[in-house]
Every structure is written in structure tokens, then in C-alpha cells.
Chains A and B, each alone.
Chain A
């Protein structure tokens, strides 16, 4: 078996809120295989968002070890974590987080621009746009797109730089059932057809079932892991 693309050991995160230490993660161990679609499920306050932020390089851990694509996040400087977000990690957020003044195309292009990958997109990505069903909606601004379309643009933005792992935080949290299923189906397609590694955080068991494996979190720990 190949080395996991993501390996987390005894990961801890303590936030200081006023005079109180808040233990958001209390020793998380997790492996994600290359090409895996992993769902992390848990109630509010279980630490799944903190895990998402650490894995995405948005905040440093307090202690433990996080190896992503062979690189140790704990040893990374701010600059290195910024570079990690450029090329190694892609994000999909619950609220889509598209830039409202840019068209769908520019929202995707800006990710390439930041990663200094501007120029002609590869033909493979054009295929992805077709797969996502947004190829004809690229010249529209977010306000002219439905929630499902906005989330598909956000997915396109998340994978445009071919990240090692796509982190999706409640990607269907703002969508109705039909659009939720469509978006989850697309994530599964991306995983199956392109081999895109995906780590999806959700509190919805039905959404979590789209992954290969479900990891349950509670009180800052992983309490259960099962294959779907």
C-alpha cells in the first residue's frame, strides 16, 4: 500500500479565549489514502472545522504531526502554509465564497493567477467544467447563478490547480436536496474519474455516505471510523 497522502498523529489545537484554554482538538489520528473520498462527520463543537482549518494550512496546530503529501505542516512557516494553499490544497466552502464582482470564469482564474499558473488551461480541465455542468455559465457573476451552480464554480476553483487534496467544508450546507445530491454526485465523479482525493466535513449522515469512509468526531477526538 502506498504512503497516505495525509497522515495526522496526535493532533492537538488549543485556542486561548480570554483567560480560558479551549481544547478544540485533543489528539486526532487520521490517515487519508491517495484517491480516497473521506467524510468527517460530527456535531457542532466536535472539532471538525478546526481539523479542516489545520489541514488547509489556515491555522497552525498546537502540537502533533500532520504530513501532507510528504510535508510536515507543523514545521511550516506562514509563507510555506500560504504556498501549501496555493498548490497542494483546494477548498470548497459551505457559503461558496465566490468573489461577487468577478465572473464565474474569473473566480476560477484568480486561483490560477494566485498560484502563478495563468495561461492556457489544460484540455483536461475543460472536460472538468463540462462534467460540472458550468461550461456555459462561466461569463455570469455569482449573483446570476443558483446556489448549486455557485457551488460547482467553487468546486472548479478548488481543483483548478490540481491540488493533492480537496477540502470541502459542509459543501451542501446551503443547498436544497436536489442540488445537494447533484454536488455530492459531482464530488464523487471527480474522485472516481480523476482520482481526486477529497476530505469532506459534514454533519449530514446522508451526505457523508457519498464518501468511501466516514470518520466521526466528538469533543475534539475521532470516536469512530467506518467504510460506507
Chain B
């Protein structure tokens, strides 16, 4: 469970990073209230020409992003300008949208929802026609015309992010510094280089996710502890007579305890190995059934951590019933039915 959830968190972040890199912009301007996980309330798109007029800025384009379900967003783009900045979308089938009710989706979203060009899809409580399916890795999974999304979401004339392409990436820091020094800009906007944006998609920069992983680990430890504790308690009860036999044969309390702890260690190691194998299974399941919403990474660096937690929890859980068993009276144990 722990490895799957950490893998999901990391998969989500890596997918975000990959798609952020696919934008092709050098600088990203966001609302000052935005974070890696939220986009803020947005700002007027009239800022786009303002940014475009700045020295070294070759072009600027904006986007509006709206939630579309718990793990999905829909992005509104001025597609011709966006493609001018980041390169043409590579369509696996179909073409770019040309009408206000057309949508383009990436290959993962299409696979998960069984979509092909010409199909209808419901987005934001409205029917859309899929005009094209593009290769994944460019900004978003679900893209509709910017103007349409602005009108539909009540954000007419607003964007939540502006992408700036410079005449040379070498000028990135200089442009950022100049923009930040402008009165009224620094307080209203976050101005980030692409690398800064990408670096935001890490566990350390998302306090909620860090907390979430902490809660998952704590739950893993508690659940593991309870399961092992109850299993060991039951095992000790079931083996009362066997423990009595061992004691009759001259087994010391230390011997009985060590047998139980060795067994627990073996179970924890087998359990950890099975947990690791299980993450490959969940990854396959997610890739098969929900490729458009979730991505799970395999996290080998977490294998020793998760195994250590499992082993520690198991040994802790086994210690009390183990000590109880070790101190058990041999005669009572032998007469246990």
C-alpha cells in the first residue's frame, strides 16, 4: 500500500514535470496566489501583450485551466499561438480543433475513455466532439479553445497562466529580474523559469503531498502493526500446545521468543517482497484501466524504507505476544486444547 501510494504521488509529479517541459516556454507567469497544485484566481488576458512587449520576449500566450473531475483538468488554449511557441502538436489521429465545440485529447485520455476521432465526450457538463488525439507530454490531456473555456467557466477575458518564449533561453534570469522589478508586477504575479516550475513538482515543495505521504506511512505502520500483532497473537494462541512442547523439551523463554521473532522477520521479508511485486501489479492495472488520470512510478528507493517499516512494525507487533508465549507456563500450555 505504502509503495503504491508513494509511487502514485511520484508518478503524478513526474507526469506534471514531463508535461511542463513540453510547453516549450522559458518563463511562466502565474497568479501570485497560485501554487504547484493550484492555479489561483487568474488575471486579465490583457497582460499577455504587456508581457510580449518586454525586451527579449519573443512571444507570449495564455491558458485557462479548470478542474474537470477529481483528478482531471481541462485546459483552454489559443492553439495556433501555443503551437507557434512549443511546436506543433503531433496528432496520432485527427486534427486540431477548428470549431468551439471541438476538443483534442492526449493518447492516455483517449485510451482510458475509449475515445476516437469523431466521438462525443462530456466535459464540463457539455458534449464535445473529439477532433484529434495527440501524443502525450504537451501541457495537458484535454484541450479546448481558450475562448470557449473562458465563456463556459465565467472567466471571460481571463487566463491563469502566461507562457513567455524568449529570443534566447540565456536571457531567462535577466527577463525575470526585470519583470520582478516592475512596480505592481512582483506582488501580483509569480514569475518562474521553466526549471523553477518543474522543481515545484517535488514532494518537498508540496507540503500537502508531503503530509499525505507521512499519513500514508503512518497508516501503513499502524495497519501493519495491528495485522501483525493480531496475527502473532492468534498464532501464539493457536500454538500454545506447541510452545508447551518446546518448553517441555527444554526450550528457554529466549528460545521461544527467538523462534517467534525469526518467524515474524521471515514473514515481514516475504510480505515486503510481495508488496514490491504487488506495486508492479497495481502499475499494470492503472496503466490498463486509468492511464489518463493516474500514473504510478515504481519507487526502488522506497523499497528498503517500506521493508524497514514493515519489519519494525512486525517485530514490535510480535514482541508482546512473543514475550507472553515465552513466559507461558509449560503445564498450562500442554493442557491447552
The 8 Å CB contact of B249, one of A53, A59, A79, A85, is A85
Chain A residue contacts of B252, Cβ below 8 A: 79, 82
Please state if B250 and A97 are interface contacts (CB–CB under 8 Å): no
Q: Which of A69-107 contact B (CB under 8 A)?
A: 79, 82-87, 91, 93, 97-100
Q: Which of B310-337 contact A (CB under 8 A)?
A: 329-331, 334
Chain A at the B interface: SS class: helix
Chain A residue contacts of B209, Cβ below 8 A: none
Report the minimum CB–CB distance from A171 to chain B (whole Å). 14
User: Which of B166-174, B239-247, B278-286 forms contacts with chain A?
Assistant: B239-247
Please state if B331 and A53 are interface contacts (CB–CB under 8 Å): yes
Count class of interface residues, chain B: 10 to 19
Please state if B255 and A97 are interface contacts (CB–CB under 8 Å): no
Confirm or deny: B248 has a beta carbon within 8 angstroms of a beta carbon on chain A. yes
Confirm or deny: B230 has a beta carbon within 8 angstroms of a beta carbon on chain A. no
Report the minimum CB–CB distance from B246 to chain A (whole Å). 7
Please state if A114 and B251 are interface contacts (CB–CB under 8 Å): yes
Report the bound CA distance from A72 to B176 in whole Å. 91
**A86-B249, A97-B248 known; A114+B255 contact, CB < 8 A:** yes
Q: Which of A31-63 contact B (CB under 8 A)?
A: 53, 56, 58-59
Report the bound CA distance from A88 to B249 in whole Å. 10
Chain B residue contacts of A99, Cβ below 8 A: 242, 245-246
Please state if A59 and B331 are interface contacts (CB–CB under 8 Å): yes
Report the minimum CB–CB distance from B257 to chain A (whole Å). 13
**A97-B241, A99-B245, A114-B255 known; A58+B250 contact, CB < 8 A:** no
Please state if B250 and A87 are interface contacts (CB–CB under 8 Å): yes
Chain B residue contacts of A157, Cβ below 8 A: 249
Confirm or deny: A11 has a beta carbon within 8 angstroms of a beta carbon on chain B. no
Report the bound CA distance from A82 to B247 in whole Å. 8
Confirm or deny: A110 has a beta carbon within 8 angstroms of a beta carbon on chain B. yes
Confirm or deny: A111 has a beta carbon within 8 angstroms of a beta carbon on chain B. yes
Report the bound CA distance from A93 to B252 in whole Å. 20
Please state if B331 and A85 are interface contacts (CB–CB under 8 Å): no
Chain A residue contacts of B245, Cβ below 8 A: 97-99
Report the bound CA distance from A84 to B249 in whole Å. 9
Confirm or deny: A115 has a beta carbon within 8 angstroms of a beta carbon on chain B. yes
Please state if B331 and A114 are interface contacts (CB–CB under 8 Å): no
Report the bound CA distance from A79 to B253 in whole Å. 9
**A79-B252, A114-B250 known; A58+B330 contact, CB < 8 A:** yes
Chain A residue contacts of B241, Cβ below 8 A: 97
Closest to A53 in B: B331
Name B residues whose Cβ lies closer than 8 Å to a Cβ of A. Answer: 241-242, 244-252, 255, 329-331, 334
10 A-B pairs with CB atoms under 8 Å apart are A53-B331, A58-B334, A82-B247, A82-B250, A82-B252, A85-B249, A93-B248, A97-B245, A97-B334, A110-B246
